[in-house]
Structure 1
Amino acid sequence: MCRHLAYLGPPVTLRALLFDPPHSLVRQSWAPRDMRGGGTVNADGFGVGWYPDGAAPVRYRSAQPIWSDPALPGLADATVTGAVLAAVRSATVGMPVHAGAAAPFAEGRWLFSHNGVVRGWPDSVTELAAGLPVRDLLTLDAPTDSALLWALVRHRLRAGAPPAGAVADTVRSVLAAAPGSRLNLLLTDGRTAVASTAGHALSVRADTDAVLLASEPYDDDPAWRPVPDGSLVEATPAGVRVTPLAAGRAGTSTNGKDRR
């Protein structure tokens, strides 16, 4: 059911995030530790988005398993960045496998990923989809639940919603329409990362000047902390705030630095 990660902090190579750790995202593509709701490997494509020198993000997406892409190791060696969102995909049965279906999805400075599944797709969310501009529906990256979730989040962002509000409102509305959905969403603009936990695992690691959010810890560093299910996470290198999705915005700081 997919794995994803986000990094914000001092510049590092993509290799340091994707390949080098003992339980890196590449390893999680074929040996995940915590696949919930079905699936055994994440071999239906992958994507990496990064921010070069503060500019708009660059993406590299493929329908291949991440371990089989011949160009990625060299790209990962040569690319240095302080903000990354990456994902490996396990496609839900019946959904297409092509590069456009792989996260991260993007617009402007935003990158987005979804780990999970919308139950009853597509009938359960037709009313939510009907509230979107027709052009947005006609230009989805792929006819998948993840692409629709991105369209719902993006619509809220365009209307002026703060990132945390756009993610939380989308999760709540989809859960109301499609109970039992697994909705771990991940959104970043290269400065702040917002994530939800609804049915899938997420861990956070806050270092002195960097923060990592990941479906699974990529090493055994004791700084990793599991995020409770039903949470909203707002993270920058300066601090991490965890809020119950259903209980407003009051939350706790996981590293003692509450940035609100």
Structure 2
Amino acid sequence: MCRHVAYVGDEEALGRLLVEPPHALYRQSWAPRHQRYGTVNADGFGVGWYAPGDPVPARYRRAGPIWADQSFADLARVVRTGALLAAVRDATLAGADAEAAAAPFAAERWLFSHNGAVSGWPHSLAALSRTLPPADLLALEARNDSALVWALVLARLRAGDTDGQAMADTVAEVASAAPGSRLNLLLTDGATITATAWGDTLWYLHEPGRRTVVASEPYDDDPRWRDVPDRTLLAATRTEVLLTPLKDLDEDASPKEPRT
């Protein structure tokens, strides 16, 4: 379910990254090449991007399929950015949250997306949700698994964890509470990209000093695309990419005290 992509690099039009490549996110909404779960990503889409000099990203999200939105076609043609995160959605369960359930989720300088599903949702994360302050639960954008996973990551970021630590610890915590979950997470702050490969495909394309792209699957047939091994944390800028194996889970891990 879902496909997503993040980019940091030289300034480009949104369409050059999301629409024009032969297997771009736009086409992945109905014809993904590497998607293991689901076939059509038509339950919403979104793109978040950064304007020069502004650390807070803008977002454009809709509840319907990306191919049916003519306003997005205009935006993609004229809006330029040096960093973005975009996603097309295949919903795990039916819901009434509409575009609020579509990634990217956002807070402060961050954009976030989740490609996968939490096993046994929502019951599997009931205990884990209680580790969050009540105000964080009330502030959830949507009532789906991705929104709660984002809240868990965000709580760690606000507590001072690095992007990589926040992502890795959240994956370990959720996977322990809900074994069999698919937790490919994607995060950017406009300068860095952090991602986890956990149960689904993840690739990256790196041209040092020019651009780094991290995506569920390649958007073209450039031979420089590299597959990220499963259970790996990726940390990248436009100049470097670092891959770190995620540690084996502690099956006895239990939810922590509420974060403040």
- Tell me if TM exceeds 0.5: yes
Letter in 2 for 1:237: R
The structural deviation recorded for 1:181 is 0.1
Partner in structure 1 of residue 49 of structure 2: 50
Question: What does the per-residue CA deviation read over 1:162-216, in whole Å, with 9 as the maximum and x for residues that have no partner?
Answer: 0000000000000000000000000000001100000000000001321000101
2:69 is equivalent to residue 88 of structure 1:
no
TM-score by length of 2: 0.93
Q: How does 1:138-217 map to 2 (within 5 A)?
A: 138-208=138-208, 209-217=210-218
Question: What does the per-residue CA deviation read over 1:9-54, in whole Å, with 9 as the maximum and x for residues that have no partner?
Answer: 00000010111000000000000112223x1100000000000003
Letter in 2 for 1:236: T
Q: Match of 2:120, SS?
A: coil
Partner in structure 2 of residue 222 of structure 1: 223
The structural deviation recorded for 1:79 is 0.4
Partner in structure 2 of residue 257 of structure 1: none
d(CA) in 1 for partners of 2:48 and 2:219?
18
Partner in structure 1 of residue 13 of structure 2: 13
d(CA) in 1 for partners of 2:90 and 2:191?
28
Q: How many residues align?
A: 247
Question: What does the per-residue CA deviation read over 1:197-252, in whole Å, with 9 as the maximum and x for residues that have no partner?
Answer: 000000000013210001010000011000000000000001000000117xxxxx
d(CA) in 1 for partners of 2:17 and 2:92?
26
d(CA) in 2 for partners of 1:54 and 1:191?
12
Q: Match of 1:6, SS?
A: strand
Identity %: 58
Root-mean-square deviation (Å):
1.2
Partner in structure 2 of residue 32 of structure 1: 32
d(CA) in 2 for partners of 1:54 and 1:229?
36
d(CA) in 1 for partners of 2:33 and 2:244?
25
Q: Match of 1:16, SS?
A: helix
**Could you list the runs of 4 or more consecutive aligned residues of structure 1 that deviate by over 4 angstroms after TM superposition?**
none
Letter in 2 for 1:231: T
The structural deviation recorded for 1:97 is 5.2
Gaps of 5+ in 1: 248-260
Question: What does the per-residue CA deviation read over 1:77-107, in whole Å, with 9 as the maximum and x for residues that have no partner?
Answer: 1101000000000001234450000000000
Letter in 2 for 1:178: A
d(CA) in 2 for partners of 1:216 and 1:190?
21
Higher relative contact order structure (alpha carbons within 8 Å, sequence separation ≥ 6): 2
d(CA) in 1 for partners of 2:50 and 2:63?
22
Letter in 2 for 1:41: V
Does structure 1 conserve the Cα–Cα contact (< 8 Å) formed by 2:212 and 2:237?
yes
d(CA) in 2 for partners of 1:235 and 1:40?
29
d(CA) in 1 for partners of 2:113 and 2:53?
20
